[in-house]
Amino acid sequence: MDGKKSKYVFEHPECWKDETRMNALFAPFRDREVNPIFYDVKMKFWKDLIQEACSNVGYFTIQELNTAFTRNRRIPYCTANIVKDLIMSGDVRTKEEFLKSTPGQSWKKWAVQTVVVNPLYWSFSKIKQTMGYEQNDVEVLDNKEYVHIPAIKKKSESLLSTANEAHVCGKVFAFEELRQKIAKSEDSASFNLYIHWLHLTGMAVTMIDPNDNKTQLVKLAEPGDKAKPMTEQELAIYSLQYNENKLSKSIEKLESEKEELILEAKAFLKKGMRQSAKNCLRKKKDLEKRIDKQAASLENIQCLLDNVRDAESNNRVVESYKYGLAALKSTFQEAGTTADNVADTMDEVKDMLEQHDEIKESIGSPLSPTVDELELEDELAELLANNVAPSPLSKLLNDFPVPPSESPTSSPSKENLSNTSKMQKVRKLEAL
């Protein structure tokens, strides 16, 4: 792109450096019958380039495009033909007609009326090339502003997504306030086109502020829905917020003026001008009264806004309760669940658990007949009462002498040694 800086930004295609190719593309259009293939290729080349150049602006004039597409101090001689074709296809409209259009209006009839039925609409003029261009007369359209619809559509959808992320959808804003929130880098003219496109497609509603006919109000559609008309409640909230901002700015300004009066009073005192200093203090007192009144009004507005926000929050909570209750009822109805059904089911569960315990007890009972323990005890007693042959151990124990009743006072006798020997033998037998 040569010449002065343009607002239209685009990437030069690879063929931009091909002199022969670009000469053919910059030349005026011939009749399509001469070479239909090259005619269509050339038309597509310029249409794509115009759309890319308008991607961040949305509107253009023929002269501005020629300046943007200047190459080696030469402008394209075919821009007017391309714009005519874009109008016929519905991709371009004049900015004036676009802003007058309403939702549901057909543009095809307008295009036919403009280009075919009323060719005098096109006003051509001869302009002499300047800035070092080739000294040829170039036929151009009047300096009208045109809107590129596909570029506007794409940019508008992007802004709507940005607005959703910024949580401004479904709320009423002044035009300029909304631009500052979601499209600060866009100029007002372009942003106005984007909002109008959203209005035409049902994704935004607009109206003039009832309190200020110079201010346009905008409400964007919430995700997955069309834009709904502004309600009296929304307009009331906007009015409160508008007055809140206005009062805040007014108080800031008065506070600043008060500080300046204090500085002036101090300056007069330094110069010995006591009366002038008193006048400054009187003005300061008046400002303080105004500040107090406006601060009280601001507090009342903020209190009202807080109450409104609380009411909205409460409404959302109640609505969520309603949705939850409806879902719960629907779930119970689909399953056929009632209090009686639940009670019957619990009774059946208890019965089944009791049957289960009985089954476990039956499974754990012994298969062989049970022997009476009392009978076994009686039989053991009979065995003990009968004469049983004594064992070797019992014989030895019976042969033991009776132990002495007194402790021995002298050395062990032979008899005691014999008894000790018998005890050792008993222990050995027990070990066996």
Asked whether residue 326 is domain-assigned, the answer is yes
Question: Are 32 and 62 in the same domain?
Answer: yes
Tell whether 73 and 31 lie within a shared domain.
yes
> Is residue 368 a part of any domain in this protein?
no
Per-residue pLDDT, 343: 84
Q: Are 213 and 161 members of one domain?
A: yes
DSSP code per residue over 29-80: PPPTTT-HHHHHHHHHHHHHHHHHHTTTT-EE-HHHHHHHT-BTTB--S-HH
Does one domain contain both 246 and 336? yes
Whether 127 is in a domain gets the answer no
Residue 409: the pLDDT is 52
Q: Per-residue confidence of the chain (432 residues) as pLDDT tens digits?
A: 444 456 788 888 889 999 999 999 999 988 888 899 999 999 999 999 999 998 888 889 888 888 899 998 889 988 888 988 998 888 999 898 899 888 866 555 555 555 554 443 444 444 344 333 343 444 445 578 999 999 999 999 999 999 999 999 999 999 999 999 998 888 888 999 999 999 999 999 999 988 788 889 999 999 888 999 998 888 888 888 888 888 999 999 999 999 999 999 999 999 889 899 999 999 999 999 999 999 999 999 889 888 887 877 787 788 888 888 888 888 878 877 788 788 888 888 888 888 888 888 777 766 665 666 777 777 777 777 775 555 555 555 566 566 666 555 555 555 554 555 656 665 655 555
Written as one string, the DSSP assignment of 137-167 is EEEEE-S--EEEHHHHHHHHHHHHHHHHHTT
**Pair (209, 242) in one structural domain:** no
**326 lies in the same domain as 240:** yes
Let me know whether 237 and 279 are in one domain. yes
- Domain boundary (173, 205, 230) is at 230
Reference 204, options 193, 225, 219; nearest CA is 219
- The closest of 126, 157, 161 to 141, measured between CA atoms, is 126
The answer on 347 and 238 residing in a single domain is: yes
| Residue 398: per-residue pLDDT | 60
407 assigned to some structural domain: no
Q: Identify the residue whose tokens are 């309600």.
A: 231
User: Looking at the whole model, is its pTM more than 0.75?
Assistant: no
Answer whether residue 415 is part of any domain.
no
DSSP-assigned states of every residue in 319-339: HHHHHHHHHHHHHHHHHT--H
Question: Which pLDDT value is given to residue 127?
Answer: 39
Q: Which of 215, 230, 245 is the last residue of a domain?
A: 230
Residue span of the structural domain in which 244 resides: 233-358+376-383
Task: Choose the final residue of a domain: 99, 122, 145.
Answer: 145
Element (H, E) at 207: strand 204-209
Domain contains 174: yes
How many folded domains does the chain comprise?
A: 3
Q: Are residues 168 and 196 in the same domain?
A: yes
155 and 108 housed in the same domain: no
Reduced to 3 states, what is the DSSP secondary structure of residue 118? coil
Q: What are phi and psi of 148, to 5 degrees?
A: -95, 105
Q: Is residue 304 part of a domain?
A: yes
The CATH number linked to 155 is 1.10.10.10
Q: Is 54 part of any domain?
A: yes
The verdict on 249 and 348 lying in the same domain is yes
The phi and psi torsions of 369 (rounded to 5 degrees) equal: -65, 145
Q: Residue 140: its pLDDT value, please? A: 47
| pLDDT score of 358 | 81
Same domain, 239 and 351: yes
Is residue 399 exposed (0-12), middle (13-18) or buried (19+ Cβ within 10 Å)? exposed
